[in-house]
Amino acid sequence: MKELDRKHTATLLRNASHVLILGHANPDGDCIGSMVALLLALKTMGIQATAWAVAPIPLKYRFMDSLFQKPDPASTNSWDLTVCLDTPCRSRLEVDPALIPSDVPMLCIDHHRISKDEFDYVYEDTSQSAVGCMLYELFCDLAVPLSREMAEALYAAVITDTGCFTNRNTDIRAFEISVELIKAGADPGTLAEYIYLSASVDQLRVLGEVLESLELLSDGRGALMYLSDATRRACMAESADTENFVNYARSIFGVQVAAMLIEAEDANHVRVSLRSKERSVNVSDFARQLGGGGHPCAAGVTAHAPLAEYLPEFRRELTAFIDSLPV
């Protein structure tokens, strides 16, 4: 593994001839926007690039959909670099890494703490609000002009990961970069409409079910919500419809830790999202105890069990974590 700074990451990209771009399962706006922006930047530089997504892109990010493609099997020989974005370990990749020839070096660019042994090259910057911000600075180094499409993709990345500039990771740099993206053609109102004003009726129905499941733990310091695969299906909702529901639990006065458990479509594993309101309540410590990871205020775990089996155990663990926090 070789740890790179921004300058050396730029050099690595500049020397590539065909780059495969990958993201994580259940991709969010930072992942999708970063994949699209990197794809467009590389093409501008005259470098071949393929952005590979497996599942359909969620409706709210559909404005970036047309750039993704399933790679042509004949082209896999020409890949000379894989770039994983917003995905700190191989097990979180949406595309099975076994499908990628093992002699193609893998670069991970992320603002999460990266499992460094799993990649050939690593460019990590945990001080950044979004991978989109890291890419913006990288494109400046590479002197790639920002097209409107690139600016829109990066702006989508920044507003998703900063929660529209409300999360604790929101810093001056995120605002400064956003100003440059707006100057390059990203329209805040239009992008907010795509991403935040495009809920389906099914999504609101499934939100109703999730809110019904709300439990308060440890005298209201914890809030837990969950959704079984059967309930999701009954509401005709897609998994992507539940992104950010955990924030309703976090929004409650007095809640320090919010958790949302979503049973996966195969009903064999559960995705756990954890949120806190301040860095001193570090939910990534708790996530790591359970085999996951993330940031101090936003972390996650995947548990390999059906929801009904995992829920009582998780409730116990979460209660113990909250009770261990200073009051």
In whole angstroms, the minimum distance from the beta carbon of 24 to Mn ion comes to 9
Q: Does 86 bind Mn ion (CB under 5 A)?
A: yes
Nearer to Mn ion by Cβ, of 232 and 271: the residue is 271
In whole angstroms, the minimum distance from the beta carbon of 34 to Mn ion comes to 8
Q: What is the distance between the alpha carbons of residues 215 and 105, in angstroms, rounded to a whole number?
A: 46
Q: What is the distance between the alpha carbons of residues 20 and 3, in angstroms, rounded to a whole number?
A: 20
In whole angstroms, the minimum distance from the beta carbon of 128 to Mn ion comes to 9
Nearer to Mn ion by Cβ, of 124 and 161: the residue is 161
Q: Does 243 bind Mn ion (CB under 5 A)?
A: no
In whole angstroms, the minimum distance from the beta carbon of 42 to Mn ion comes to 20
Q: Which residue has the tokens 């600016």?
A: 151
3-state SS track over 261-304:
EEECCCCCCEEEEEEECCCCCCHHHHHHHCCCEECCCEEEEEEC
Q: Sketch the per residue contact string, 28 through 67, with Mn ion: x for CB under 5 A, - otherwise.
A: --x-------------------------------------
In whole angstroms, the minimum distance from the beta carbon of 114 to Mn ion comes to 12
Residue whose CB is nearest to Mn ion in the complex, by number:
30
Quickly list DSSP for 32-80.
HHHHHHHHHHHHHTT-EEEE---SPPPGGGGGGGGG--PPPGGGGGG--
Q: What is the distance between the alpha carbons of residues 61 and 66, in angstroms, rounded to a whole number?
A: 11
Residue 144: CA count within 13 A, CB half-sphere: 25
Q: Does 161 bind Mn ion (CB under 5 A)?
A: yes
Nearer to Mn ion by Cβ, of 207 and 298: the residue is 298
Q: What are phi and psi of 318, to 5 degrees?
A: -65, -40
Strand-pairing partners, residue 226, are: 261
Q: What is the distance between the alpha carbons of residues 299 and 259, in angstroms, rounded to a whole number?
A: 10
The piece of 10-18, 81-89, 270-278, 291-299 that touches Mn ion (CB under 5 A) is: 81-89
Q: Does 124 bind Mn ion (CB under 5 A)?
A: no
In whole angstroms, the minimum distance from the beta carbon of 235 to Mn ion comes to 27
Residues lying near Mn ion in the complex (CB under 5 A)? 30, 86, 161
